[in-house]
Amino acid sequence: MAPLFSNKRGSNQRFDVNLSILFTELPLLERPAAAAAAGFTAVELWWPWIETPTPEQAELDALKKALDDAGTQLVGLNFYAGALPGPDRGALSIPGEESDRFRANIEVAADFAASVGCKALNALYGNRVEGADPQVQDTLALENLVLAARAADRVGAILLVETLNKPESPLYPLVSAPAAIEVIDKVNTATGLGNAKFLLDIYHLSMNGENVSEVIEAYADKTGHVQIADNPGRGAPGTGSLPLEELLDQLTKAGYDGWVGLEYKAPDAAASFAWLPAEARAAG
């Protein structure tokens, strides 16, 4: 595949690789080096320990060492969200054990982010669950997001809230950009910190049938992180029909200068990066 993005444009944006969806054929601790070998200096992760919000310190230390040894910067990290990929779509709004697990994870995730210089923590809202009043779930979600925002602020990070898509996540309540922005505004009002931001995932927005260009126009100033995949198929840019280069150009013109996470599926991650010039992969 020939490069889709011009060298000039690529140099104006910073791309990172999501190691929870790419290079998954490798053990977790080998993925930072694989990303570095492909030319990237920045990576992001879903919470890697899906079975526990509080892994042993030795596991946290081993991941930090793998990132350091590879020379890769962790620029985004999810709080505990259950089994991803899979049926779970977060824990913070689910009454009982899952919410408790999220709360147990908050300081652990924040402290790990601080140890590796990560400045963005993503909190997936959580599915609607049978037998739980949606209003009760929303109240619980706000309480937990406030706690997460304060923990993120303590370590100099932002809190991200994202929209998923209804076809793939039918029980997830934030399936439009305005729905996520409403939650973000409530968190910022409650904390007074202003560090809750929108994770603008172009793939999820397009799957919901939203006009991505209009979302960018409306919410670029509230966006703290961007993720991309083509649609249909959630593959690399150029495998679908989304005008990703144009949309990212629009974000740049709107003032967004943050990270763009590559959160797409590819059977061969290293080969899938042919769309992006090599010189655009290493962020200065």
Indicate if 245 belongs to the active site. Answer: no
Catalytic residue among 98, 162, 210, 217: 162
Q: Look-up: residue for tokens 């029909």? A: 241
Indicate if 182 belongs to the active site. Answer: no
Catalytic residue among 44, 98, 210, 263: 263
Contact 159, 187 (CB under 8 A): yes
Calpha distance 163→143 (Å, rounded): 19
Contact 158, 194 (CB under 8 A): no
Calpha distance 248→24 (Å, rounded): 26
Q: Write the CB contacts of 38 (distance below 8 Å, at least 6 apart in sequence).
A: 17, 269, 270, 273, 281
User: Which tokens hold the place of 280?
Assistant: 């655009």
Query: At 76, is the secondary structure helix, strand, or coil?
Result: strand
Relative to beta strand 14-18, strand 196-201 is unpaired
Calpha distance 41→204 (Å, rounded): 25
Calpha distance 16→27 (Å, rounded): 19
User: Which tokens hold the place of 115?
Assistant: 């140890």
Residue in 257, 274, 258 with CA at minimum distance from that of residue 266: 274
* Catalytic center residues: 162, 263
